[in-house]
């Protein structure tokens, strides 16, 4: 065990910090729309030009070809310097890209990996369906072989940024007789294919982060299959736990910076009698709890990555997601509480404008990418070996 | 950056488990003689001391592996006080005293009290101990005093079967050593208490998971019911994070990092909550058998309760965690 960086890691970190100081955009990220996409594209391209896109991705596909440790250091430094998050590229960088690196054909890798790193391809994830949310393996969207094409028919829902995306990773049923996890395939689908209809969904915070997507005989070349036909489930799960673990380190640092801002807020704001909120024992204890949990979560994520580096695997990746989701929800709830009546107006102050929507959006944390309950099932069955519910 | 335990650390952890497995309680908080001798022979008491001081040059992270095992076994015996007392003795140049402690011939009791104040004090594991480690958290200060049997005014009934509680008079107690840097002693103590709490949290998780696979009701193992399995999943998250945050804090102290005090406080608070919650849930998961004296579930709860009130209590944690 060691936390000190070796000479090579230190050199990398210092170089990253130096670059970030000079390159992190000064202007805030636009809340939505084409401006937001333009902003994220520009930031991604700037990272690429600086040699910082895809730190651990292979060199031949445009990555920097460095180790996982450097990838983590990069995420950490980005969080410390408040660099923009991957934003509209989070699926491309966090799931589609890593999946193609492991499972894609040479042609697929060359078509997508470089462009993803240069910010040229926004990706969406087409997994959930109206009848298959937590029970993802029950999905029914079909793709039927017709010559050298697959014809997709059905619908997906909760597809993040579908209306802004160029490409989609789509999980479909290709083997009609097969049940559940068997008989699924993983497809790359251009979002401008004829037959795709997108209807945005307004969420409880008033935003439209995702959409319902309908497929009416959408024709996709069989060369867009990732992995073998029928192996889609395995392909989709290849990098899921792992990416969560590595990206979480950066997210946890961002969460700790948020806790820090909430603490400053509690020190500045006063109650009706003019006493700082932080002077209240209950508020102080609550913030101390959040801070200790965030440090523990950081330690858990670091322990997970360390185990993967040493042994190539770790069972604890699945423990991180529900912990992170629930903690970040509590942090945002605490921030909202500190606003008091100021939080009753979404745009009454700079702080309310930041905290209120972020609190409302946080309800999605324990639902998206598998509800907290499904995550607990997975931990109980796969990590602890308890019998199936 | 690497939080993966070394081969030596993993070997150490399994050696500790072996020593503590299947032991019969010495009763009244006393460690069985066999266990105490094996612990001394394996160097548990000398592990964290420098080689030049008769120690084994181990790190605080190494010591944390040992104390996680002690916590998981809810083991009786003044392991922590003896380790800390040896450190105080070394720092004060009392080489012979340190050797008596590291070799296992002398056991240390401990108490929390102002150094020049309250008398009598409530002390833990004073029966069978030759010295008392007096910890003053406010100054902070740490002092070793002699405790002859005559210093014990009353034996009290302990809430936690893993320790004995007594009332001691210290008015004529001879001072043997005074720690120059008590802050270091307290912060190392806090990490090792956290390690024991993480051990308690892990043991509770393991006990619940094993029982949930075996115990059948309504024709199936109770672990097939989400009311039980989801609680087990939550216990697993808490105990895994507890173990990780202890390692993070220990390595941060070993490397003298600027953020070490905050990480130590984080480990202390997180492991306390994790141990108390896991021990509580473990009793509930076991149903009526978990409510009996015969079953070990209550021992974990009582360990967690005792340790939660050890060095660096909640108000001190809060202050360290909110320090700007």
Between B224, B244, B321, which is nearest A303 by CB? Answer: B244
Q: Report whether pLDDT(A290) > 90.
A: yes
**Mean pLDDT (whole number) for A7-11:** 94
| Band of pLDDT at residue B205, cut at 50, 70 and 90 | very high
Equal fold, B7-180 vs B183-322: no
Q: Report whether pLDDT(A242) > 70.
A: no
Residue B151 in tokens? 């210093």
Lowest mean pLDDT among A30-39, B20-29, B200-209, B227-236: B20-29
Q: Do B229 and A389 touch (CB under 8 A)?
A: yes
**Closest chain B CA to residue A263:** B322
**Mean pLDDT (whole number) for B41-69:** 97
CA angle A119, A122, A128 (to 5 degrees): 150
Q: Mind listing the pLDDT tens digit for each residue in A167-181?
A: 999 999 998 888 888
A323 touches chain B (CB under 8 A): yes
A384 touches chain B (CB under 8 A): yes
pLDDT value for A279: 94
Q: Report whether pLDDT(B24) > 70.
A: no
**Which of B306, B291, B277, B296 has its CA nearest to residue B210?**
B296
Q: Which residues of A touch B230 (CB under 8 A)?
A: 373, 376-377, 380
Between A73, A296, A322, which is nearest B242 by CB? Answer: A296
Q: Report whether pLDDT(A282) > 90.
A: yes
Question: What is the C-alpha to C-alpha distance for residues A20 and A5, in angstroms, rounded to an integer?
Answer: 19
pLDDT value for B116: 77
**Mean pLDDT (whole number) for A299-315:** 89
pLDDT value for B253: 98
Span between the terminal Cα atoms of chain A, in Å: 38
Question: What is the C-alpha to C-alpha distance for residues A80 and A305, in angstroms, rounded to an integer?
Answer: 19
| DSSP class per residue in B77-144 | S-HHHHHHHHHHHHHTT-HHHHHHHHTTSS-EEEEE--TTS-SSEEEES-TT-SEEEEEETTTTEEEE
B224 touches chain A (CB under 8 A): yes
Q: Mind listing the pLDDT tens digit for each residue in A127-162?
A: 999 988 888 888 999 999 999 999 999 999 999 899
Q: Are A159 and A197 in contact (CB under 8 A)?
A: no
Q: Alpha carbon of B74 to those of A97, A133, A252, B77, B197: distances in Å?
A: 48, 43, 33, 10, 10
Q: Do A303 and B229 touch (CB under 8 A)?
A: no
pLDDT value for A110: 96
B267 touches chain A (CB under 8 A): yes
Residue A148 in tokens? 């050298």
**Which of B101, B108, B103 has its CA nearest to residue B143?**
B108
B226 touches chain A (CB under 8 A): yes
Q: Report whether pLDDT(B175) > 60.
A: yes
B118 touches chain A (CB under 8 A): no
Average model confidence (pLDDT) across chain B: 95
Q: Report whether pLDDT(A243) > 80.
A: no
**Which of A78, A157, A84, A81 has its CA nearest to residue A125?**
A157
CATH architecture of B7-180: Orthogonal Bundle (1.10)
Question: What is the C-alpha to C-alpha distance for residues A184 and A126, in angstroms, rounded to an integer?
Answer: 13
pLDDT value for B29: 64
Q: List helix spans (H) across chain A.
A: 7-23, 33-50, 68-80, 90-91, 97-103, 106-117, 232-237, 240-268, 281-311, 317-339, 350-361, 372-378
| Band of pLDDT at residue B27, cut at 50, 70 and 90 | low
Residues 141-200 of B with CB under 8 A from A: none
Q: Report whether pLDDT(A95) > 80.
A: yes
Q: Do A299 and B244 touch (CB under 8 A)?
A: yes
pLDDT value for A132: 86
Residue B171 in tokens? 């008015």
Q: Alpha carbon of A223 to those of A47, A108, A152, A216: distances in Å?
A: 31, 8, 14, 20
Question: What is the C-alpha to C-alpha distance for residues B142 and B132, in angstroms, rounded to an integer?
Answer: 10
**Closest chain A CA to residue B3:** A1
Q: Report whether pLDDT(B25) > 70.
A: no
Between A263, A300, A379, which is nearest B322 by CB? Answer: A263
Q: Which residues contact B20 (CB under 8 A, 6 or more apart)?
A: B35, B69, B70, B73, B75
Show me where the domains of chain B are located.
7-180, 183-322
Q: Report whether pLDDT(A246) > 80.
A: no
Residue A243 annotated to the active site: yes
Q: Do A2 and B255 touch (CB under 8 A)?
A: yes
Catalytic hit among A76, A103, A169, A243:
A243
Q: Do A373 and B245 touch (CB under 8 A)?
A: no
Domains and CATH numbers, chain A: 7-121 (1.10.540.10), 124-230 (2.40.110.10), 239-383 (1.20.140.10)
Q: Which residues contact B32 (CB under 8 A, 6 or more apart)?
A: B23, B24, B25, B26, B76
**Mean pLDDT (whole number) for A44-53:** 96
Look at A34 and B284; give whichever has higher pLDDT: B284
**Mean pLDDT (whole number) for B162-171:** 94
Lowest mean pLDDT among A238-247, B83-92, B98-107, B272-281: A238-247
Interface with chain A: mutation pick from B3, B205, B215, B258, highest number of A CBs within 10 Å: B3
Distance from B100 to chain A by nearest Cα, in Å?
31
Q: Do A388 and B262 touch (CB under 8 A)?
A: no
**Mean pLDDT (whole number) for A72-99:** 92
Q: Alpha carbon of A385 to those of A315, A369, B278, B284: distances in Å?
A: 12, 22, 18, 20
Between A5, A72, A384, which is nearest B233 by CB? Answer: A384
**Closest chain B CA to residue A9:** B1
Between A291, A295, A306, which is nearest B4 by CB? Answer: A306
CATH of B183-322, one of 3.20.20.70, 1.20.140.10, 3.40.50.170, 1.10.3210.10: 1.20.140.10
Q: Mind listing the pLDDT tens digit for each residue in A365-375?
A: 999 888 999 99
**DSSP β-bridge partners for residue A213:** A156, A198
Question: What is the C-alpha to C-alpha distance for residues A167 and A162, in angstroms, rounded to an integer?
Answer: 9
Q: Do A1 and B213 touch (CB under 8 A)?
A: no
Average model confidence (pLDDT) across chain A: 92
- CB neighbours of residue B309 within 10 Å: 12
B217 touches chain A (CB under 8 A): no
B61 touches chain A (CB under 8 A): yes
Q: Do B244 and A1 touch (CB under 8 A)?
A: no
- Which is it for strands A196-201 and A210-221: parallel, antiparallel or unpaired? antiparallel
Q: Which residues of B touch A297 (CB under 8 A)?
A: 241
- Tell me what percent of the residues of chain A surpass a pLDDT of 90: 75
Token pair 């009130």 is at which residue?
A: B309
């Amino acid at each position: 065990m060691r936390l000190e960086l070796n000479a090579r890691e230190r050199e990398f970190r210092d170089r990253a910090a130096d670059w970030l100081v000079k390159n992190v955009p000064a202007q805030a990220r636009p809340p939505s729309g084409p401006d937001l996409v333009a902003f994220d594209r520009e930031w991604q391209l700037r990272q690429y030009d600086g040699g910082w896109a895809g730190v651990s991705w292979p060199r031949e596909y445009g990555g920097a070809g460095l180790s996982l440790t450097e990838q983590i250091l990069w995420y950490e430094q980005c969080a410390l310097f408040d660099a923009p998050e991957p934003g509209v590229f989070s699926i491309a960088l966090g799931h589609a890209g890593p999946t193609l690196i492991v499972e894609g054909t040479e042609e697929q890798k060359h078509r997508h990996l470089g462009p993803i790193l240069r910010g040229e391809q926004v990706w969406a994830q087409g997994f959930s369906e109206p009848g298959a949310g937590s029970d993802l393996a029950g999905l029914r969207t079909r793709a039927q072989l017709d010559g050298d094409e697959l014809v997709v028919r059905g619908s997906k829902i909760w597809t993040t940024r579908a209306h802004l995306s160029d490409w989609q990773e789509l999980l479909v049923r290709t083997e009609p007789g097969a049940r559940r996890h068997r008989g699924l395939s993983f497809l790359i689908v251009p979002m401008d294919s004829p037959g795709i209809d997108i209807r945005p969904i307004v969420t409880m915070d008033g935003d439209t982060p995702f959409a319902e997507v309908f497929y009416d005989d959408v024709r996709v070349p069989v060369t867009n299959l990732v992995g073998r036909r029928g192996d889609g489930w395995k392909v989709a799960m290849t990098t899921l736990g792992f990416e969560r673990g590595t990206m979480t380190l950066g997210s946890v640092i961002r969460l700790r910076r948020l806790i820090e801002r909430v603490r400053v807020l509690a020190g500045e704001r006063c109650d009706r009698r003019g006493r700082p909120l932080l002077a209240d024992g209950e508020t102080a204890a609550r913030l101390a709890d959040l801070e200790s949990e965030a440090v523990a979560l950081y330690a858990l994520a670091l322990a997970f990555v360390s185990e993967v580096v040493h042994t190539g695997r770790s069972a604890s990746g699945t423990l991180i997601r529900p912990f992170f989701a629930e903690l970040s929800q509590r942090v945002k709830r605490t921030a909202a509480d500190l606003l008091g009546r100021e939080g009753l107006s979404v745009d009454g102050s700079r702080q309310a404008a930041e905290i209120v929507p972020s609190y409302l959006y946080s309800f999605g944390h324990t639902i998206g990418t598998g509800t907290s309950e499904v995550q607990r099932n997975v931990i109980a069955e796969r990590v602890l070996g308890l019998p199936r519910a | 950056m690497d939080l993966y335990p070394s081969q030596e650390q993993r070997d150490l952890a399994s050696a500790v488990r072996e020593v503590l497995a299947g032991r019969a309680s010495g009763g009244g908080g006393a460690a069985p003689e066999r266990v105490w001798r094996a612990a001394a022979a394996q160097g548990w008491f000398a592990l964290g001391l420098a080689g030049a001081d008769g120690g084994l040059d181990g790190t605080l992270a190494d010591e944390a592996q040992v104390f996680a095992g002690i916590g998981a076994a809810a083991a009786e015996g003044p392991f922590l006080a003896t380790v800390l007392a040896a450190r105080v003795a070394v720092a004060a140049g009392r080489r012979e005293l340190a050797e008596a402690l590291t070799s296992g011939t002398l056991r240390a009791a401990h108490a929390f009290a102002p150094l020049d104040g309250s008398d009598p004090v409530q002390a833990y594991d004073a029966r069978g101990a030759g010295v008392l480690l007096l910890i003053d958290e406010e100054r902070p200060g740490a002092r070793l005093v002699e405790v002859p049997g005559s210093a014990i005014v009353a034996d009290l009934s302990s809430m936690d079967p893993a320790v004995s509680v007594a009332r001691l008079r210290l008015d004529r107690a001879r001072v043997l050593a005074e720690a120059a840097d008590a802050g270091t002693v307290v912060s190392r103590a806090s990490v090792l208490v956290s390690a024991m709490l993480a051990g308690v949290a892990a043991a509770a998780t393991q006990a619940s998971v094993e029982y949930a696979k075996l115990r059948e009701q309504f024709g199936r193992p109770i672990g097939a019911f989400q009311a039980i399995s989801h609680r087990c999943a939550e216990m697993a998250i808490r105990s895994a994070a507890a173990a990780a945050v202890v390692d993070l804090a220990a390595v941060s102290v070993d490397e003298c990092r600027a953020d070490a005090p905050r990480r130590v406080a984080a480990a202390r608070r997180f492991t306390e909550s994790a141990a108390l919650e896991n021990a509580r849930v473990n009793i509930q998961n076991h149903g009526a058998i978990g409510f009996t004296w015969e079953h070990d579930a209550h021992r974990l709860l009582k360990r967690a309760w005792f340790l939660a009130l050890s060095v660096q209590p909640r108000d001190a944690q809060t202050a360290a965690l909110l320090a700007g």
